[in-house]
Structure 1
Amino acid sequence: MQIMKQLTPADHTPCDLGFAMPAEWDEHAATWMSWPGDDELWFGHLAGVRSEYAELVRTIARFEPVHLLVRDEESETDARERLAGEASVTFHRVPLDDSWVRDNGPLFVRNAAGEVALVNWEFNSWGGKFEWENDNRIPEYVAEYLGMGHWDRPEILEGGGLEITGDGVGLTTRSCFLTETRNPGLTEEGYTLLLNDTLGVRKLLWLDGGLENDHTDGHIDTITRFVDPQTIVTSVAEDTTDANYAVMQGNLEALRGMTDANGQPFRIVELPLPANRLEGAEGRLPPTYANFYIGNGFVVVPQYGDPNDGRALEILRPLFQGREVIGLPSRQIIEGGGSFHCLTQQQPAGSIWPGA
C-alpha cells in the first residue's frame, strides 16, 4: 500500500515543519473527554459508568482543565449535575457515538517554538465493530474550536494503539496495526515512515499482541506503557493457565531485547494483571492497570476491587516521582472494554499554531 499524503495548503508534513508528538508526561494545556451517553453500548451499566466517570473527571479537573464533549441535552444535563461546581470543566455539545476519545480524538503535535497543532486520522471503530461516523468528526471540531492548524490523514489510526517517548521512539502491536480492517497492505516499514512524517517517531518497536477479548485487537495502552524515555511498564499474567500468560511473556521477552533512542536497553518493570477473571455481556473483560493516565502532577490508575489493586499502585508510585498516583474505581467502566487512558486525550501545553 502506498502511503498517501494529504498535506496542508503549504504542502508540508508535520515533520517538515518540525512538529512531533510530545510524551504524555509533558505539561498539558488540558484533557479532552467524551461523556458516556448510550446505555446499550455499556450493556445496561450506564448509571454506574457515569458515576465512576464523574469521579475521574473531577480528579483530573483538580490538576488541569477538562474539555468535556456531550452528545445531547440528556447527557449534558446529567454531566452538569454530577460535576456541579467544577469550574475547570468546559462543556461542548457535539454529536457522539461513544466515549473513547483516545482513539477517535486528535493527536497533538508541537514544534520547537512551542506551537501546538493536531493530526486528524480516520477512525472506523476498531475495524467497523460499532458506529463511528460522529466520532470520526471530533478532531475537526477540536481544531475549529481551538483555531488550530491541522493535517487530515487518510489512514486509520487510534491513539491507544501507539505509545511514544517524545524523543523519537514508538511502541505498538502487530495484532492491531497490521490487521486488514485498518490499513490493508501497510507494512511495519510503511508505518515507520508514516509515523516519522506525522508524529516524529523515528524508531518504531513492535510487540505481537494484547489481551484476550480486547475489541481493539490488542491496543498497546492496555498492556505496555512508557513512564519515561528509558522505562517501560509491561503487564504480566501470573496464572500460567491464563490465556494471557503466553502472550504477555512473549511481550516481556521481546521488550528485554529492545533499546531506547540512544541504543541502551530499557528498564523493564513488570505490572501484574488483575488476579480475578471478569466476565461481561460479551465474554471475558480485559481489565488492566496499564491503562493509567498521566497528567499535570498526577497519574490515575484503574481499580477493579481486585486483590492486585494495591500491588499495582505500589509498583507505579515509585515510577512517578513528583506526581500523585491515584487509584480510582473502574469496575463499571471496564464493562465497555477500556478504562482511563482510553477515555482521555491530552492537549500539550503551548501556543496555538494557526496553520500554514
Structure 2
Amino acid sequence: MAFRMLAEWAPHESVWIGFPSSVKAWGEPLHRAQQQIAAFANAVHASGRGERVHLIAGSAEAATIATDLVDSGVHVEQRQIGDIWLRDTGCIIVRDGNLRIARDFGFNGWGGRFDYPGDLTIGHELAAEAGFEVKKLDWILEGGSIDVDGEGLAATTVDCLLNPNRNPALNKEAIEARLRDDLGIQRLLWLGDGLANDHTDGHIDNLARFVGVNHILIPQGAGPNDPNEAVFEDARKRAEAFGCRVSLMPSVGRFVQDGEVVPASYMNFYIGNAAIVVPIYGVGNDDAAIATLASLFPDRQVVGVMADAVLTGGGSFHCSSQQVPI
C-alpha cells in the first residue's frame, strides 16, 4: 500500500501535547513552562474546527495543575510520559485512503543524551489506546527531524539524520530508502547544520518548515550577532537549488539564557485545524514572525504564545505535540 505522511496543515482529528511534570527535569522554570504549555493547548482548543486536545501529564500532581490551567474542553490525562517531547517519542500516523496506521520508530534519547522512564513506551501506548494498529520499526527517527509537504517531499538536516549517534549502520541512501518505505517520502531535501547549541543535533523543525506543496519557510538572519545567520543562508541556498519555493521568516536572533546562547526559533510553530500557535520570546521580531505566518495561512488564526520557559527544557510547542490526522 502507498502509505504517506500527511502535511501538518491537513485536517486533524486530535493532537497529543506533553505537559511539563518533573521538577527534577525542569527545575525552577517548571511552573512557567506549565503555564506556557497550557496556553498552547488552550489556543489550539479555542480555535475549534473539531481538533480534540489531549494534554498528557506525568504525575497526579501535574494532572491536577494542568486541569486548573486549561479550558474545560481540553482532555487532561495522566500517563508515564518521560519528558514532554511527543513530536519525537510519539508515533507518526500515516494514511492510505481511509486506512491509518501508527509508525512507532526507535528512540534513543537524542543520541544517548537523556533517558526518562516512559519515553520508549508513550508513543505506542497513546496510539494503541486511540485504536490504531501500531507498526514497530527497527531504526531511530525523531518526528522533529523531518518535515513534509504531504506530496512526497520532506526536508531534514545532515546534522541530525546522518549523525552516527542515531543509526551508524545507515548511510544517506539507506535512510532515504527507509523514509520512502515507512513514510511515503519520495524526495528528500538535505539541509546542512541545525541551530547552534541544539541538543537534538539540529532538528529541522527549528530551522525550516513546509507551508505549502514544495514551499518551504526559512529564517532570515538578524545580523552579524545572530549565531545562526550562516546556517539560515546555507539552508536557503540548498532549498532553492533543490527547486523549492522559499519564503523567509524573521529570526529570533541571539537569545541567551543562563549565560548561554540557546536555539530560540519561531519555526517551532504548530499548525492546527484553525490556528497556528507560534512561540514568541519577548523580543523585537515577535510581531513580524506572527505577521509572516498570517500572510502564509490566511485561513487560520495565528496566535503568539510566550515560550521562553518551555525553551529551557530544550524545545517548544511543535516539539511537545504530535497531531493525529483524520
Amino acid at match of 1:279: Q
Question: RMSD in angstroms over aligned alpha carbons?
Answer: 1.4
Deviation of 1:147 after TM superposition, in Å, equals 2.1
Partners of 1:43 and 1:335 within 8 A in 2: no
Distance 1:151 1:312 in 2: 37
Partner secondary structure for residue 55 of structure 2: strand
User: 1:91: Cα distance to partner?
Assistant: 2.8
Q: Does the aligned pair in 2 maintain the 1:124–1:132 contact within 8 Å?
A: no
Deviation at 1:133, TM superposition (A): 4.2
Return the offset for 1:97.
Answer: 1.7
How far has the Cα of 1:329 moved from its partner? Answer: 0.9
What are the within-5 Å matches in structure 2 for residues 91-110 of structure 1? 91-110=76-95
What SS does the aligned partner of 2:26 have? coil
Equivalent pair of 2:80/2:117 in contact (CA under 8 Å): no
Q: 1:128 to 1:241 in 2, by over 3 A?
A: same
Q: Does 1:305 align with 2:319?
A: no
Please give the per-residue CA displacement for 1:156-208, whole angstroms capped at 9, x wherever unaligned: 11000000111111110000011111000211111111011110001111001
Distance (whole Å) between structure 2 residues aligned to residue 147 and residue 275 of structure 1 = 43
Aligned match of 2:63 in 35, 51, 76? 76
Q: Which runs of 5+ in 2 are unaligned?
A: none
2:251 is matched with which residue? 273
Q: Distance in 2 between matches of 1:149 and 1:218?
A: 30
Give the residue type in structure 2 aligned to 1:304: Y
Q: Find the aligned partners of 1:329 and 1:339 in 2 and give their Cα distance.
A: 10
TM norm structure 1 = 0.88
Residues 110/67 of structure 1: CA separation in 2 closer, same or farther (3 Å cut): same
Q: Which runs of 4+ in 1 moved over 6 A?
A: none
Structure 2 CA distance for aligned equivalents of residues 204 and 119 of structure 1: 19
Structure 1 residue ranges without an equivalent (≥5): 1-16, 260-265, 350-356
Judge which range, 339-348 or 137-146, deviates more. Answer: 137-146
The equivalent of 1:151 in structure 2 is: 135
Structure showing greater radius of gyration is: 1
Instruction: Please state if 1:66 is matched with 2:22.
Output: no
Note the 1:1-356 alignment, pairs <5 A: 17-62=1-46, 63=48, 64-83=51-70, 85-87=71-73, 89-112=74-97, 114-259=98-243, 266-280=244-258, 283-349=260-326
Q: Is the 8 A contact 1:275 1:307 kept in 2?
A: no
Task: List per-residue Cα deviations over 1:299-337 (Å, max 9, x = no partner).
Answer: 111110000001111211110021111111112111112
- CA distance in 1: counterparts of 2:77 and 2:227, whole angstroms: 41
Deviation string 1:25-83 (CA, Å, 9 cap, x unpaired) is: 00000000111011232242001111111111111112221122221111111111212
Structure 1 residue 98: Cα displacement: 0.4
Residue 267 of structure 1 aligns with an amino acid whose one-letter code is R
Native 8 Å contact 2:217 2:246 kept in 1: yes
Preserved CA contact (<8 Å) 1:61 1:86: no
Shift of 1:241: 4.3
Name the CA distance, whole Å, in 2 between partners of 1:50 and 1:137: 22
Partners of 1:249 and 1:43 in 2: CA distance: 35
Identity of paired residues, percent?
A: 35
CA contact (8 A) 1:21 1:110 kept: yes
8 Å CA contact retained: 1:22, 1:109? yes
SS in 1 for 2:23: coil
Deviations 1:128-150 (A, max 9, x none): 11114411111210232122112
1:244-265 C-alpha deviation (Å, 9 max, x unpaired): 1212211111111012xxxxxx
- Does the residue aligned with 2:168 lie in a helix, a strand or coil? coil
